[in-house]
Structure 1
């Protein structure tokens, strides 16, 4: 177990019963909006540049279980942190999926070169991607 971390969730993990089946302890902190990335649906949802995504802010200390659920070790999703607009200023984890592995029907273009994770991280660092909560 690691320290508690905030995670922006926008798919199956917005359901408390699903979260309870994945991690031992968690708390929903509240509703949140991810600015700078929009949701794209395939077999599983992922994120793409631009727009916004509504979801929930989850707090847990069991990031290993979330990583396993999201298939981080299998290359399905990458866990990346983004700034939050909360007063505490902490960063929030998001999971961004590989559209080719998730059956996403539309083309998603992450600018630049390098691996998908490298391009995603670079995009987030160079744009105003952030999480807004209603605290």
Structure 2
């Protein structure tokens, strides 16, 4: 199995090494990384809702013919922590292969030290986002 994408591994290492009092601030910097939805996803067309998130969160993963994964996320600005999870995945998985996406550890947010900085409910939502993303990739490979 492939390793986690290099950029995502860098992000995980940055968070894991950061002083605990800076982790939340670092996390929120990723809230603005998510690009706006393209026209073909207006109204969340073809996107899956993640009900484990406390806010309305939608995602779509598409495996391209080249074998890379394109991600699409939508989350309201009023949910900066959840947007930040998506921002980390958007940046960390950009250009990643399907195998690299599937190799992302399920306890990603715990490895980043986020479990000490944010509520368990938010960590659960972030973990659900990753789980659904990986499931969509797996389904397209089968």
TM norm structure 1: 0.25
Structure number with higher relative contact order (C-alpha < 8 Å, ≥ 6 residues apart): 2
TM norm structure 2: 0.24
* Structure 1 or 2: more strand by fraction: 1
* Structure 1 or 2: more helix by fraction: 2
